[in-house]
Amino acid sequence: MKKLIFDLDDTLYDLMEPFQKAHEELFQDQTDADTEALFMASRIYSDEAFYLVREGKLPKEEEFAYRIQKTYQEAGLSITREDALRFEKRYRHYQKHLHVPEGIQSMLNECVESGTVIGILTNGTEANQTKKMEVLGIRRWFEEESIFISDQVGATKPDPKAFLAVQKALDLDPKDTWFIGDTFEVDVDGAKNAGWHVIWFNHRRRKAPEESRKPDLEVQTMKELREAVRKLIK
């Protein structure tokens, strides 16, 4: 039977929702930049800031402000650190209302009902990711021992060591193991380099990097993802 390991952010829930609401509340009247384009830029700078913190090049307390200031700077809007912290406050507020979409819930229900081994591998700090999962009610589907956070694992996607740590802990056979994630450079590259199969949940319809390894399957909608997972767990 296939084993399925999921990314968390922007795969099992819509990561853009709290960003969009904070943007609309604070900065929408100051820029005509497309909200999704801003969000996508923030994802790039979020990864950049995350690695800078891990390498000791950026103080942890500056991580979020760095991400937001860089995002709006790219769109031609200069915001102060204080503005970035206001954004973070509103963003954190809206994060308290995250939810797993019904289509994803149905997919996970089918996985559980079929007895499929499922897990989560997510980048981030233990505190932040644990808090998100509590809000999302993610443990309705995932056992505690099947949830892996880079902070705990000691390796960060796309480092294959993160995937191999999950593989060892759950005694997975890479030939039967599939990773489902939204970010090509982090999820697809990382899982493929670990010898896993990959479904790229490309619901943001991004272009794959040139000369990159291809995922085993690319889907762009929740319906397509559910159908793909259904075929795997039969």
Sign of the C-alpha dihedral, residues 68, 73, 77, 78? positive
Q: Residue 212 pLDDT > 90, yes or no?
A: no
Q: Residue 33 pLDDT > 90, yes or no?
A: yes
- Percentage with pLDDT > 70 across the chain: 100
Please state the pTM of the whole predicted model: 0.87
| Strand 197-201 to 217-219 pairing | parallel
Contact between 133 and 108 under an 8 Å Cβ cutoff? The reply is no
pLDDT score at 122: 98
